[in-house]
Structure 1
Amino acid sequence: MMDESVANICLEHPQVHPENSEWTCFEQSSSLDIRAFFGFESTMEKLAMKQYTQNIAKGKEIIEYFVNELKNEGLTYVPPWTEPEKEKTVEEDSRAQGDSPLSPTQSSSEHNLSRKASSKHKTDHQFQLETDYIQRYLGQLTLLQESCLVQLREWVANLQRGKVPSDQTLLRFLRARDFNVEKARETLSQSLVWRKKHQVDRILSEYRTPQVVQNYFPGCWHHIDKDGRPIYLLRLGQMDVKGLIKSIGEEGLMQLTLHVCEEGLQLMEEITRTLGRPVSTWSLLVDLEGLNMRHLWRPGIRALLNIIEMVEANYPETMGRVLIIRAPRVFPILWTLVSTFIDEHTRSKFLFYGGNDYQAAGGLVDYIPQEYIPDFLGGPCKVRNLCNVTKLYKK
């Protein structure tokens, strides 16, 4: 058995550096005990190390954030804390400098934060958007989020020549980075370069679906869910991964994925206009009936990981819900290996159903209207353009 599926992370209290009293040091430790895990002990150890490294990076990021906040307030040095000799020291210093005295409960740092909040409040009003436009196309936003969106839009408009991404696209990149404008700007810039390099803006008009994909690829768009999201059906367990890749290559599979993603963006825009409210994500329904070890073909796994990396980098916050149904017993092991490469926030949107659990309460009917449940899952809706796949490649 495995005592801990992930590493235990412990961030110790800050301490004064033993060699320099002006420095503060933090200690982070982790422990992992794996006795047996279906022969994947080494793999699990590598995954745990990856997660531990990510935790270290996150901890550093948090510390740097607060250090930068202090810098923005003009504080470049904070002396070690010592117990004040007099209670009126702060007030006397303020009067000596000609400033108005602070209230007994308000420190100098709190005063700086108050002034900063006041200026930030004014800035937010500068960057407000039309209320009707927000409600119809973007959804609920705070004043700060509106400000971030307008800042990113202005930066793109000054940088980009020609077509500028929609506000919906900019908002997805901001949400993926917790509305950190600098980080959203960096990832968006990389994505714009990538789109130009691969001519993604032309794919809807120029892409021609290969005949082998039309005949054997078990995936298609299928109506909308109860939240208005377009649904993409994928019978992954029925897919001949080896035959598909040997027929169209990894590049052909990537082009197919790009076309599906761009179709999804277009569908969301159409549904938004139709419903009169923002629909910014889609749902994915994955049927795993027939999934077995042959799907672990190494080039296929490599292609899958490349697709995941591409989608998360260039189509952030587009996945609203992922319904995994008829998951076989082998799936938990496969999920343990693959899930590490999926963003944590995206993983939280996955729902899993083994056997026929998807037909019970809490199953598909909670998320998809009864009349849209596919016929191959016991529903009344006949699915068109979805192949009944047999083995494609025989060799």
Structure 2
Amino acid sequence: MGAASDDAVKQLALLMDQVEAPLRRTFQNVHQGYPKETLLRFLKAREWNVSKAHKMLVDSLNWRIQNEIDTVLERPIVPVDLYRSIRDSQLVGLSGYTKEGLPVFAVGVGQSTYDKASVHYYVQSHIQINEYRDRVILPMLTEKFGRPVTTCVKVLDMTGLKLSALSQMKMLTSISTVDDLNYPEKTETYYVVNVPYIFSACWKVVKPLLQERTKKKVKVLHGCGRDELLKIMDYSSLPHFCRREGSGSSKHSSTDADDCYSLDHPFHKELYGHIEELASRKELIKMGSLHVSIPEPDPDDAKIVEVIQAEFQKIGEQNGSANGHKV
């Protein structure tokens, strides 16, 4: 880190020392004893502009307070059958760790349907995974390795991506906006696997719109990506859909404990058990979904969504013409 970066961190730290006590308290939950690393993340997200990073961080802390994010891990999604339905339709899980000790999160982009519960439950579930990662998994790894571990890698499985995914764009935009504005720079690299034509077509038009920093993070791999991913992680940490080259499938069964999306996988069992334990310490468990306010996306991100929607529309029209009828 250069002198300019050090100076920016110091300036931002001084500004954060002046915020009100409630913001300072929730900031401690965010940085988990490593404020410098958190300040760096927000500075990177705002291209090292101290005042913009300060506004972003303060807005995020206010969002946490207004939406009770600090206690989100005390609110289990009940009954457990509802949570199982969410896990079967919002495909995400922790498959293992890289050789450098970073958590590997698998995301089934192409086969997530988000059709078993309200948007509020899906957003709540996503935030709970983020908070469990940041407050339990990363601190555990930091202690294990004796150095701050503050980021993860994600393997995005595009198997099954279809034009119908356009109907999920609002849901995906809500989740990505929550991440972009409140959990910036938490992902070191995005590995994209099992890529169909529709993704390649969209990537071609979206890539030029991305910031250079973001472009460098996205690695589109051949096939299921097994050979490339084995350079950075052991076979046991590969997501289940990357384990057999040429299978082209991420079909999952909710009873398969090897399937990192499933509630029967150790990660999800531990996560749900942790939430239930915290909830049991409270006299009254808050029932129902957490209604989190979704911040407005950055104008640049909103433009990218528009471009994706337009590209999906174009592909749909081309398919319709090829089939001799309008879509």
For the structure 1 residues 171 and 342, does the alpha-carbon distance in structure 2 shift closer, same or farther, using more than 3 Å as the test?
same
1:345 CA drift (Å): 2.0
TM-score normalised by the chain length of structure 2: 0.65
Aligned to 1:359: 226
For the 8 Å contact 1:283–1:319, the answer to whether it is kept is yes
Measured on the aligned residues, the alpha-carbon RMSD in Å equals 2.7
Partner Cα distance (1:338, 1:308) in 2: 15
Q: Give yes or no for the alignment of 1:252 onto 2:121.
A: yes
> What pairs with 1:63-102 in structure 2 (closer than 5 Å)?
none
**CA deviations over 1:261-313 (Å, ceiling 9, x no partner):** 2122122222112111222211111112222222222xx11121222222111
1:174 CA drift (Å): 1.9
For the structure 1 residues 178 and 236, does the alpha-carbon distance in structure 2 shift closer, same or farther, using more than 3 Å as the test?
closer
TM-score normalised by the chain length of structure 1: 0.54
For the structure 1 residues 301 and 216, does the alpha-carbon distance in structure 2 shift closer, same or farther, using more than 3 Å as the test?
closer
Letter in structure 1 aligned against 2:12? L
Partner Cα distance (2:187, 2:107) in 1: 14
For the 8 Å contact 2:96–2:238, the answer to whether it is kept is no
Partner Cα distance (2:223, 2:3) in 1: 46
> What pairs with 1:164-179 in structure 2 (closer than 5 Å)?
164-165=27-28, 166=31, 167=35, 168-179=37-48
Aligned to 1:383: 258
**CA deviations over 1:9-56 (Å, ceiling 9, x no partner):** xxxxxxxxxxxxxxxxxxxxxxxxxxxxxxxxxxxxxxxxxxxxxxxx
User: Which structure is higher in RCO with an 8 Å CA cutoff and minimum separation 6?
Assistant: 2
Aligned to 1:280: 150
> What pairs with 1:144-293 in structure 2 (closer than 5 Å)?
144-162=4-22, 163=25, 164-165=27-28, 166=31, 167=35, 168-208=37-77, 210-239=83-112, 241=113, 244-245=114-115, 247-266=116-135, 267-293=137-163
For the structure 1 residues 316 and 206, does the alpha-carbon distance in structure 2 shift closer, same or farther, using more than 3 Å as the test?
same
For the 8 Å contact 1:320–1:349, the answer to whether it is kept is yes
Aligned to 2:170: 302
For the structure 1 residues 217 and 312, does the alpha-carbon distance in structure 2 shift closer, same or farther, using more than 3 Å as the test?
closer
Partner Cα distance (2:52, 2:95) in 1: 34
Partner Cα distance (2:122, 2:206) in 1: 19
For the 8 Å contact 2:240–2:259, the answer to whether it is kept is no
Partner Cα distance (2:164, 2:222) in 1: 20
**CA deviations over 1:204-254 (Å, ceiling 9, x no partner):** 222436342144432211221123211111222222x2xx24x32222222
For the structure 1 residues 160 and 153, does the alpha-carbon distance in structure 2 shift closer, same or farther, using more than 3 Å as the test?
farther
Partner Cα distance (2:84, 2:205) in 1: 33
For the structure 1 residues 196 and 170, does the alpha-carbon distance in structure 2 shift closer, same or farther, using more than 3 Å as the test?
same
Partner Cα distance (2:205, 2:178) in 1: 18
For the 8 Å contact 1:319–1:346, the answer to whether it is kept is no
- 3-state secondary structure, aligned to 1:212: helix
Q: Give yes or no for the alignment of 1:350 onto 2:218.
A: yes
> 1:373 pairs with 224, 238, 250, which one?
238
- 3-state secondary structure, aligned to 1:316: coil
Letter in structure 1 aligned against 2:104? I
For the 8 Å contact 1:269–1:279, the answer to whether it is kept is yes
Unaligned runs of 5+ in 1: 1-140, 389-395
1:344 CA drift (Å): 4.5
Unaligned runs of 5+ in 2: 245-256, 264-327
Partner Cα distance (1:207, 1:161) in 2: 28
For the pair shown, the structure with the greater C-alpha radius of gyration is 1
For the 8 Å contact 1:282–1:318, the answer to whether it is kept is yes
For the structure 1 residues 341 and 289, does the alpha-carbon distance in structure 2 shift closer, same or farther, using more than 3 Å as the test?
same
Partner Cα distance (2:209, 2:102) in 1: 25
Partner Cα distance (1:144, 1:207) in 2: 44
For the 8 Å contact 1:232–1:283, the answer to whether it is kept is yes
For the 8 Å contact 1:305–1:341, the answer to whether it is kept is no
For the structure 1 residues 342 and 383, does the alpha-carbon distance in structure 2 shift closer, same or farther, using more than 3 Å as the test?
farther
Residues paired across the two proteins, number: 238
For the 8 Å contact 1:207–1:259, the answer to whether it is kept is no
- 3-state secondary structure, aligned to 2:129: helix
For the structure 1 residues 359 and 232, does the alpha-carbon distance in structure 2 shift closer, same or farther, using more than 3 Å as the test?
closer
